[in-house]
Amino acid sequence: MAAPRVLFLCTHNSARSQMAEALLRSRSRGRVEVESAGTEKTLVRPLALQVLQEIGIDASAQTSKTLDRFIDERFDYVITVCDAANDACPTFPNAGAREHWSLPDPSKATGSEEEQLAVYRAVRVELEERVAALIARLASRGAHA
């Protein structure tokens, strides 16, 4: 049986979708093929990488990608992690399911670096919970996640 495939989408593919990709890859121990993309290509936010590193996940090799490269691929789940991407998300004809996880944009956090990190950490914690639930659903369906 092929590994389940998941695509996380966000506007800039710089924080939330990058964190979700890294978390799912790490927590599923590679048993889920996971990608992330954005409606626009930017750079991965250093604070997103930092809060992942705090929990032992090195996502420094990840890059920002646009969704056009994935539009014709098959995914078991296409998950938007920001409201703008949810509104702008095209139809993925080869997607088994489409979900929306509405999460605040940590890149909009202001204040000191520590205050900004607190926002990134809160989003990471919420993503950890949602990723754990997704892995449980995949496992219950026999997807070996």
Mean pLDDT of 58-79: 93
6-41 residue pLDDT tens:
999 998 999 999 999 999 999 999 899 999 999 888
Annotated catalytic residue 10: yes
Closest-CA residue to 89 (of 131, 38, 127, 123): 38
Identify the active-site residue in 3, 89, 118, 139: 89
72-102 residue pLDDT tens:
899 999 999 987 665 666 666 778 888 999 9
Annotated catalytic residue 82: yes
Identify the active-site residue in 6, 10, 103, 117: 10
Q: Looking at residue 60, what is its pLDDT?
A: 97
Q: How far apart are CA 13 and CA 28, in angstroms?
A: 21
Let me know: does 39 contact 14? Beta carbons within 8 Å: no
Annotated catalytic residue 97: no
Identify the active-site residue in 32, 47, 82, 95: 82
Q: Looking at residue 49, what is its pLDDT?
A: 98
Q: How far apart are CA 135 and CA 54, in angstroms?
A: 22
